[in-house]
Copies of this chain bind each other. A is one copy, B any other.
């Protein structure tokens, strides 16, 4: 076993830019420049060079390679943006594609039934990665974004995903300092652990004012044919709305519908 000195990146952050010694690493660092330190829509050549820590002339050449392939696009003003080909390939990634295709109709139903923000997320590293989001015309007072990440302990989908994650993931997650976003955010490991247990028992998570003031969230787990939790759906509402119970049922119905479409059969669940 072993071999390489294992430099795997767990979540999506980490990795100082200076690691970019080899050519492939440098190519990737160029794309990462659009995400880190802060997401950017467009960057100038110099900015890319600075963010990625690659000498200007080298950056120039490598950016050229990306543009030729379509991974970066050069705008009229000379600045660069991420290119369509990335999007095209991204749409082919299997989890994303299957899950999204299967789930979308149910999410639409859920949206129609509740008229609230509807989310679909999966666990990636130590974050909830948002695969889909329907919001209708209402002003977007939530911070989630398709393709974006949010912490596990302060979002509805996050808690559901964490509750059903392998033990070592839960352990790892709880052993780090958890950020408090609002007074209501739970950051104490033991309390969180109890809460996760509750979520596992109830099959649903209900949160209020833990990430964004004025909004609550109801989330439920989605299982595949092996019974494993692979994603979570949620509905996020203004806290004032008092129709939560109806929403709970709608969220659970959606989660169950998607699970069933993925091949999950309650009876078969845990063991064959």
Contact = CB atoms under 8 A, between A and B. Distances in A.
B27 A70 contact: no
B134 A84 contact: no
Contacts of A90: 82, 86-91, 147
The size bracket of the interface on A is 35 or more
Contacts of A96: 84, 87
B8 A84 contact: no
Contacts of A87: 90-91, 93, 96, 147
Contacts of A239: none
Contact of A112 (B91, B112, B147): B112
A95 B70 CA distance: 14
A82 B94 contact: yes
Contacts of A105: 135-137
Nearest to A23: B23
A70 B104 contact: no
A77 to B, nearest CB: 13
A201 interface: no
Interface of A: 7-9, 12, 22-25, 27-28, 31, 34-35, 39, 41-42, 62, 65-66, 68-71, 81-97, 100-101, 104-105, 108, 111-112, 124, 129, 134-137, 145-148
